[in-house]
Amino acid sequence: MNRRRFMVAAAGVFGLAALLRRLRAAETWLVRYLWSGAVTPTGARVVACLSRSAERVRWAFVADKADWKSAAFTEAIAARPEDGNIVAFTLTGLKPATTYRYAVEVDGRLVTESPAKFTTFPETTNDVTVCFASCASTGSDHPVFDAVGNQKPAVFLHMGDFHYLDIIPADRNRRLEGYAAVHASSTQRKLYRQVPIAYMWDDHDFLGSDSDGVAETPAQAAAIKDARLAYQTAIPHYPLALGAGDVPIAQAFSLGRVRFVLTDARSARLPGKTILGDAQKKWLKDEVRASKEKHRLFVWISSVPWTGKADPKADTWAGFPDERTEIADFFKAEGLAGRVCILSGDAHMLAIDDGSHGDFATGGGMPIPVFQAAALDRKGSDKGGPFSHGTKPGRGQFGRMRIKDDGTKLHVEWAGMNADGEVVKGMEHAFTV
């Protein structure tokens, strides 16, 4: 095991502070990490974390294979210690379905040693691949991340438990360094420099195991706010649906006629009452109503499982059966039967249900196909269900979604994948909208 991998693995033994001291001691590079997200056909958001502060940081970007001498530059901004020396910029005016390489110029030095790139979305989804998964030990170097990259997805949907640091108190620096610790992984660092991300947290990367949005004390309120603001600083996210600042991190984006909706199932959760909170739930409904004519399929990213018998102690949608029925009834009333599917993480397994066990509308009539995809690198577990295709608990797993749209019919193919890039037996499902 190489030195850096050992240091990441040792986080659970020495604690985050000790891990970060070792990482800082080993850092000799100027750019700690680069990654991209919020990709559209004409734009993207890029984020860099530097090893020191800087007065002038510019982004340089070129169409793939072009010379850096022809690079376009953004305006200059400063990298400040209070933001973890993290800088972000939203690129606009790009060409659809085009690969761009990008780098940062720090106080006059263009840092191009480590390649980073993204590809803008096509305007239509005639043949597009999306990968999705959740749950990886902090800084995992598992080869599954290479397997994800080898699929050449348009985007990687990370559905939670990006790390397992369980940071409970308000500690902005610790949270920002937690994200940096993930990028210390060789395989993850490579993936996030090559494939844009759309990321929604779950419990361990929010406030800790089974965490929620209860803010009965000033300390609890401060921790929730701190987590939300740290996310907005470090993550190349799409515009947040409820605005910037101390708000849930809900967001949405389109790939052709497919609308991806990411809801925050943690920071507005009130046990026994709601998993989404009133404001986010209203946005979800408004979002669907506003875009249902333009989009044929809604892919809902819920970090926790949808299926399962009602149980007030469950940390999934089964623990909120009334709200689950309310949302299913809403989809049904809007005429969306056959046009909604759910991707989820949390449970450390691959599992597919064709909708047979995912209909929670009053009187039925709203079956929702569900695909559970985990664990990237955690011990297997089994929860929720039943599932029409069964379950495959284990690590080194992710989901793949292929979208083919000829303008008349939209065909979706699901496959559960392993770290060797192979389809896991029994984990395949297809449907047409």
The pLDDT tens digits of the residues spanning 284-316 come to 999 999 999 999 999 999 999 999 999 999 999
Taking each helix axis from N to C terminus, what angle separates 172-183 and 11-26, rounded to the nearest 10 degrees? 80
Dihedral sign from CA coordinates of 312, 318, 320, 323: negative
Q: Which helix (H) or strand (E) holds 405?
A: strand 397-405
Backbone angles phi, psi at 44, to 5 degrees: -165, 165
- pLDDT category at 126 given cuts 50, 70, 90 is confident
The answer to whether residue 348 scores a pLDDT higher than 80 is yes
| Best CA proximity match to 44, nearest among 154, 152, 126 | 154
pLDDT tens, position by position, 13-61: 345 555 555 444 433 489 999 999 999 999 999 999 999 999 999 999 9
What is the average pLDDT score of the chain? 93
Residue 46 burial (CB < 10 Å; 0-12/13-18/19+)?
buried
Residue 15: the pLDDT is 59
Q: Looking at the DSSP assignment, which residues form a beta bridge with residue 58?
A: 105
| CB burial readout 308-337, b (16+ within 10 A) else e | beeeeebbbbbbbbeebebbbbbbbebebb
Close Cβ partners of 140 (under 8 Å, ≥ 6 residues apart)? 8, 185, 187, 188, 376, 377
| Best CA proximity match to 160, nearest among 227, 214, 223, 226 | 227
- pLDDT category at 268 given cuts 50, 70, 90 is very high
How many residues would you count in the chain?
433
Query: Does the predicted model carry a pTM greater than 0.85?
Result: yes
Share of the chain above pLDDT 70, in %: 94
Amino acid code (one letter) for 313: K
- pLDDT category at 9 given cuts 50, 70, 90 is very low
- The structure tokens listed for 101 are 């390489």
